[in-house]
Each structure stands twice: as C-alpha cells, then as structure tokens.
C-alpha cells in the first residue's frame, strides 16, 4: 500500500468521502487521490515521492506557481506582526486600492473569506438594492455552495452527477431562474415573464466550472444591455477569471462594465480570501452604512492581504521582459496546439477552448458553448486520458468538467515536458 493509499484509508474513516472538498476524491476518474507534501514552481511533490507537473494550480490562485519566493517572503514578514487582528489594518487599504485600480467596474470593495461568501453577499446585496427577490443564473455555472446558487451548478456538483443539492429548500429554488449560457433569447424571455421581479443576473463571464467555455461574440454586451434595461444588477463572478484572464479580468478584455464583481483566488496569493466590489451606490447598501448585513471576523486577514498584494504586484512586474499575460497566453496556446495535433493524429474528436492561462479538454466533436454541449464530452475517455497523464507525471483537474490553469512557472521545460506527456497519453488512448 502506498503512503497516499494509507492516508486515504484513514481519511475515509474521519471525513465524508475522505476529503474536505468533493472533487478531490477522484470519484469520476477512478483510483485513489494522491496526497501532497510540498509544491514548488509548476510542480507538486507527493508523499509517495512523485513529482507532478500541476495544471490545477490550487484551482486558480497559483498564477505565479507554487511557493513563489516573493509571496512567501511577504507572508513571513506579515507573520512577524501577528496572524489576525479583528481590527482594520493598513494592508486592507493597500489591497482595496489595488483592486479599484485594476478592475474597471469597482469603485468600492468589501473583503471576505472565500469566493462562496463573495457571491452569496452579491446576491443579498442585489436583492437589497433592488428590493426584488428573483435571481438569474446559468446552467453549469458554479458560484459557490450557498443555497440560492447551488441549483444546476457546475464544479463538483456536476462532476458527481448532482447538479442540485439536497438541503436546498424548494422555496429558495423557486427564486432562482436557471437559463442556458450563451442564449440571449432565453434571458430576454425570463425578463418578459418576470417583470420587475428579477433582482440580478450572475454569471461567470468566461465559464470555468463546467469546463472552460467562452461566450459567443456580443453575448456579454447583450446581457449588459438587458440587465440595464430592466433595472437588474449584473454580477460578474470573476473568482476564477479575475487577474487571470487579464489584470482587470474578463471585463477589461471584453470592455463590459458589470454592476458588481466577485473576486477570490489570486488576491489571496494562495491563502483563503474573497472580495466583492462594484458601483459605490450599490456597495454603500452594505452595513455599517446600509441595510444589507455582511460581516466576518477574518475578513481582510493580514496574512492573506500580504500574500495577495505580493501576487498582484508580480502581475505588474515579475522581472521578465514579456508581459505576464502574453507569456501565459503563449504557454496556453502551446499546450492547446499540442493536444489538438495529437488528437488529429489519433483520429479522436476533441475541443480545447483556451484563453490566456485557462483551458479545457473536451472529448467531443461538438463545439462546447454551454452546459448541454459540455455534457456531450466523453467523460469515460477523459478519465482514461487523466489516468495516463497522471501516470506520466501531469496532474489535470480530476473531472471532465473543470478548467485547467497555467502559471508563469510552467515556462520552459515544464510546459515542453507536459506537452510530451499529454501527447503520448492521447496516442495511447
């Protein structure tokens, strides 16, 4: 028995499914999950003394790779001053200034502890601001596990075949309207059928939790126009895409200005964090000056703020001659092209949507543009591909319905070796 197998056997006696987050259990790809003892750059080091090139990157935050020396130093310096204060401190202000400077739509920001908390607060704020109850979300988009949003969800819920969750009251579900992504007619029809009842529309502008899916040309602009026309709050969930697709997220790239934006992942530099920001008139509805309550003892934690500030500063200048986002897109295209070429040579249908540092691999001949077309991907074939990659030394998300992530640390030998392993995995399918 390997060390990972032994640990997993012990964990299953102590934790539901042996894990603290469902996808980690490897249920959809088979086998026993490995346990990690350390990570550096683009590489995970397991307790079984294996080295794996990592394309999960802590599900997004590790845009500079693991254990970056500048982020590590920032955490160490903050640690010397204390772990948690429960009071305002200077790093919160610095982080807020950076977010407002980077993200086009954000005038004011509230720090919290997770992406789930950020989206949950955004929904409450949209309802409080508009005095309406209904929320629109899109099939396959995952916005955390709060009750209003865990309906037709992606991520682990989809991976394990349960896009709805037990424990969500039917009354809550009735206030959530679920529509297909990339279908503007469906959104227009929802507004027509619910006049003056929809508080907000929340979406991942580039989907990452049903695999990586791009919007059709002009789709986001039409969503923006419809929400403005009907007085609904437009919420961009950029927990994954914020600072990863561009410094200002998808909204910078697409030139769309949402009313509220949810952030996380990178602004914690690998530590737990979330944030909500947007138009000042909406944000001012939050307590203590507004009627919408939100609080958190660890919100704006000094260690998380220090790590996040260091991570964001590296996105402005990481010491290389090429802009970090140009480097990341070059690496993404290199990986995409290698997979597509290998699949063509083997005669296997595959779709590899990619933008910058995010990508997915769908085994289907159908272009993937929404939840329904994502489900045409051959999950069993993906599981075989996943196992072959893992055996060769590449770790992809253990689900056919998750995005992959690339870091600046993948540059050079890591990306070249990963492309070789993935090409060989496809050749052996």
Contact (Cβ atoms closer than 8 angstroms) between residue 202 and residue 119: yes
> Which residues fall within 8 angstroms of residue 61, CB to CB, at 6 or more apart?
265, 266, 268, 269, 270, 311
> Rounded CA gap, 299 and 42, in Å?
29
Show Cβ contacts of residue 194 under 8 Å, excluding neighbours closer than 6 positions.
134, 177
Those residues whose C-beta lies under 8 Å from the C-beta of residue 57, and which sit 6 or more positions away, are 63, 65, 66, 405, 406, 407
Please give the torsion angle defined by the CA atoms of residues 408, 410, 411 and 417, in that order, rounded to the nearest 10 degrees.
Answer: -170
Helices 184-193/219-229 angle, 10° precision: 10
Residue 91: C-alpha distances to residues 123, 231, 391 (Å)? 27, 35, 43
* Residues taking part in catalysis: 142, 237, 265
Q: Indicate the SS3 state at residue 367.
A: coil
């Amino acid at each position: 028995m390997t060390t990972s197998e032994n640990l997993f056997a012990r964990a299953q006696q102590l934790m539901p499914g042996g894990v603290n987050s469902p996808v980690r259990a490897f249920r959809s790809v088979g086998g026993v999950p490995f346990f990690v003892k350390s990570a550096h750059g683009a590489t995970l080091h397991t307790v079984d003394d294996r080295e794996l090139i990592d394309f999960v990157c802590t599900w997004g935050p590790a845009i500079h790779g693991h254990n970056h020396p500048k982020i590590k130093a920032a955490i160490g310096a903050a640690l010397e001053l204390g772990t948690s204060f429960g009071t305002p401190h200077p790093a919160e202000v610095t982080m807020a200034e950076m977010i407002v400077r980077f993200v086009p739509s954000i005038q004011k920001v509230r720090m919290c502890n997770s992406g789930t908390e950020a989206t949950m607060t955004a929904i409450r704020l949209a309802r409080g601001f508009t005095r309406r109850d209904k929320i629109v979300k899109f099939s396959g988009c995952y916005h955390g596990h709060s009750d209003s949003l865990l309906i037709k969800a992606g991520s682990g819920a989809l991976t394990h075949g349960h896009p709805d969750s037990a424990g969500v009251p039917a009354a809550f579900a009735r206030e959530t309207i679920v529509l297909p992504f990339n279908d503007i007619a469906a959104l227009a029809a929802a507004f027509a059928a619910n006049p003056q009842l929809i508080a907000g529309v929340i979406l991942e502008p580039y989907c990452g939790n049903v695999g990586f899916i791009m919007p059709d040309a002009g789709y986001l602009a039409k969503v923006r126009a419809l929400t403005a026309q009907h007085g609904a709050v437009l919420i961009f969930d950029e927990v994954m895409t914020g600072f990863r697709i561009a410094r200002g997220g998808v909204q910078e790239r697409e030139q769309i200005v949402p009313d509220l934006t949810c952030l996380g992942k990178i602004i914690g530099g690998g530590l737990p964090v979330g944030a909500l920001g947007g138009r000042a008139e909406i944000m001012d509805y939050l307590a203590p000056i507004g009627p919408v309550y939100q609080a958190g003892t660890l919100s704006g934690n000094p260690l998380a703020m220090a790590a996040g500030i260091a991570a964001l500063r590296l996105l402005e200048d990481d010491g290389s001659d090429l802009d970090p986002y140009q480097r990341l897109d070059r690496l993404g295209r290199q990986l995409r092209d290698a997979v597509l070429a290998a699949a063509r040579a083997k005669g296997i249908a595959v779709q590899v949507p990619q933008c910058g540092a995010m990508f997915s691999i769908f085994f289907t001949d159908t272009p993937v543009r929404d939840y329904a077309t994502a489900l045409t991907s051959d999950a069993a074939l993906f599981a075989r591909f996943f196992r072959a990659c893992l055996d060769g030394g590449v770790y992809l998300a253990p689900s056919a319905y998750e995005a992959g992530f690339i870091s600046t640390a993948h540059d050079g030998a890591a990306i070249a070796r990963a492309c070789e392993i993935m090409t060989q995995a496809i050749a052996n399918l």
